[in-house]
Structure 1
Amino acid sequence: MSNPVGAAGEPWQWDEPHWRGLVNQVRAGRRLAPARWKGGARCAVALSFDSDHDTNELRDGGKSIGRMSWGQYGNRVGVPRIIELLDRYGIKASFYVPAVAALLYPDEQKRLVAEGHEIGIHGWIHELNSVLPYEVERDLMFRSTDTLEKITGVRPVGLRTPSWDFSPNTLRIETELGLLYDSSLMADEDCYDLVMDGKSTGIVEVPVEWVRDDAVYFMMNRFQSLRPYTPPKDVLEIFLREFDAAYQAGGLFQLTMHPHIITPRSRIWILEEVIRHAQAKGDVWFATHAEVAAYVKSV
């Protein structure tokens, strides 16, 4: 894969081949939007949880015991609370787990797989791919995949890059892994084929969006200036409007959450209300990201 990053001069001084090369590294190809979803459903709902746990802080040096305890909350309280809720409504979801988090909490991953949920790749220690050379990123991604398979007995078929940080080499490595799908990019609201240097890779993108992520509304760091906070009722309204629009269009409603963020007592009801609202429509297919990717690729 070509890597046009690093040309001399300011961006306004680049020639056209250079800026086109940057743009064309990874692009959205053919839209994969079925006329109807599995079982004749009008809309597909793909719920996901990034089980970062302690790795959010470990990636930054592991200096804050408090932030690591917040990660442990995700395992002790968050994931069990999510599993109970999903089980109550008969829903399967996708969990993206850094390998270090899986090694810290292997029983969590085994339980999720045993109960029919999907485990996806989410880096080694929630590292940022864009700062890594190809060889290091590849080693970490392959080791992460092998680690998740060893713990759960199931080899992952999808990747969500940590912090949705996608390097010029990430898609190449995904093709080397033979993955079915990625869920890190934002070029559409429906699934699409990922194109690398002008050629289809056959990898499906199950697109994400910051507006459909709980962290942007609730995440905070007491040692930094990061202090966003949106009232839970307002977050619910945003999520419901996103779902209603997806339903009207006959498309995909994809939602990203975090066990340590969405599950406090004053917030977990957001997820339940989204589920109840969607199920009330009657013709909605709740599926894992892997199931969505496989379906759109098959029709």
Structure 2
Amino acid sequence: MADENGEEPWQWSEATWRGQVERVRAGRPLRPSSWPGGARVAVALSFDSDHETPALRDGETRPGKLSQGEYGSRVAAPKIVRLLRRFGVPASFYMPAVSALLHPEEARGYVEEGHEVGIHGWIHERNMLLGPADERELQLRSADTLERVTGVRPVGIRTPSWDFSDHTLAISAEMGLLYDSSLMADDDPYELLADGRPTGLVEIPVEWIRDDAPYFMMERYAGLRPYTPPRAVLDIWRDEFDQAYREGGVFQLTMHPHIIGHRSRLVVLEELLSHIAGHSDVWYATHAQLAAYVAEEARLGTAAASEAARTAEGRDR
């Protein structure tokens, strides 16, 4: 694919391809020497409460498609919150601002239950198709809207579809965010670099292996089909946790209410939580709490890290 100068990648100079690679890169690892309370592993569960927004983003306004998203808020999210409450597990919910406006009681309910609400775009837009000004405006508008709906200013972002444009990092840094959770360069948190320079932003990496969507998505008029049995996904996620436990690292999981919240799938999450609960030395944390802890341990010294650490400390009490 030719670039803006009409050059194919095989024609690029070393300075060009090296510059592309170094634009956003993983910096120093941030896995601490110990977790709070002497825990051996940190568990950070997250849910992307997209609901109707992916359909709306694509101009899909017919009731059938929208009803799939409605299930996420109407049925799945309450079941998930009750399950987390039963196990005493905090989680992070990434909510497009339009989703929060459609379901404000849900968004506020997350906070009231002690969970985190993070930035997840305005309408689950594809930021790599936006100009920098539009991406910046939507990201700031999303943060303002989530704060107005929930009463809490978000400190972290997960970009919609994990898309990361050439401008995303600069916008997040300008906003003073504590962390991002959209990239995949490690199993454990790390500091983000911009053109080789430390940014002070924590990355809590995601991975498609630890996401419910690739296993369970269904698109009637496309090739997406849920070929993987739910119990097979339980085996994968349990193995991911067990290895994180052996290494003393982080087990991070990304789910979607409208996907994981169906009966045969929610039992997978329930059994996974039961398995994790069988280990006494586990620290359960929101992504904000995790990012604040590793930032403080590494002395990143950002204002966002200090404020988030104080907020997390208050919630832990």
* TM-score of the pair, normalised by structure 1: 0.97
Match of 2:254 among 253, 256, 280: 256
Which range moves more in the overlay, 61-70 or 30-39?
A: 61-70
Say whether the 8 Å CA contact 1:240–1:274 is kept in structure 2.
Answer: yes
Match of 1:149 among 141, 147, 150: 147
Cα shift at 1:62: 2.3
Alpha-carbon distance in structure 2 between the residues aligned to 1:17 and 1:64: 49
Which range moves more in the overlay, 133-142 or 219-228?
A: 219-228
Cα shift at 1:139: 0.1
Alpha-carbon distance in structure 1 between the residues aligned to 2:5 and 2:123: 31
In angstroms, what is the RMSD of aligned CA positions?
A: 0.8
Counterpart check, 1:49 vs 2:47: yes
Letter of the structure 2 residue corresponding to residue 233 of structure 1: R
Match of 2:81 among 80, 83, 86: 83
Counterpart check, 1:98 vs 2:102: no
Cα shift at 1:278: 1.0
Alpha-carbon distance in structure 1 between the residues aligned to 2:253 and 2:5: 37
1:11-160 map, 5 Å: 11-160=9-158
Say whether the 8 Å CA contact 1:57–1:64 is kept in structure 2.
Answer: no
Correspondence for 1:271? 269
Cα shift at 1:228: 3.4
Alpha-carbon distance in structure 2 between the residues aligned to 1:238 and 1:108: 30
Cα shift at 1:115: 1.1
Correspondence for 1:287? 285
Cα shift at 1:40: 0.7
Correspondence for 1:229? 227
Match of 1:162 among 157, 160, 163: 160
Cα shift at 1:276: 1.1
* Gap change, CA 1:250 and 1:7, over 3 Å in 2: farther
Alpha-carbon distance in structure 2 between the residues aligned to 1:293 and 1:245: 21
Alpha-carbon distance in structure 1 between the residues aligned to 2:177 and 2:81: 26
Spell out, residue by residue over 1:140-172, the C-alpha distance to the aligned partner (whole angstroms, 9 max, x if none).
Answer: 000000000000010000000000000010000
Cα shift at 1:281: 1.0
Aligned-residue sequence identity (percent) comes to 62
1:168-247 map, 5 Å: 168-247=166-245
Alpha-carbon distance in structure 1 between the residues aligned to 2:188 and 2:108: 31
Alpha-carbon distance in structure 1 between the residues aligned to 2:28 and 2:142: 29
Cα shift at 1:275: 1.0
| Segments ≥4 residues shifted beyond 3 Å | none
Say whether the 8 Å CA contact 1:160–1:183 is kept in structure 2.
Answer: yes
| Secondary structure of 1:267 counterpart | helix
Letter of the structure 2 residue corresponding to residue 133 of structure 1: G
Alpha-carbon distance in structure 2 between the residues aligned to 1:6 and 1:171: 21
Say whether the 8 Å CA contact 1:219–1:229 is kept in structure 2.
Answer: no
Alpha-carbon distance in structure 2 between the residues aligned to 1:266 and 1:59: 28
Say whether the 8 Å CA contact 1:246–1:252 is kept in structure 2.
Answer: yes
Cα shift at 1:7: 3.7
Alpha-carbon distance in structure 2 between the residues aligned to 1:76 and 1:229: 26
Alpha-carbon distance in structure 2 between the residues aligned to 1:65 and 1:201: 44
Which range moves more in the overlay, 7-16 or 84-93?
A: 7-16
Unaligned runs of 5+ in 1: none
Spell out, residue by residue over 1:211-260, the C-alpha distance to the aligned partner (whole angstroms, 9 max, x if none).
Answer: 00000000011021222321011000000000001000000000000000
Letter of the structure 2 residue corresponding to residue 248 of structure 1: R
Say whether the 8 Å CA contact 1:193–1:203 is kept in structure 2.
Answer: yes
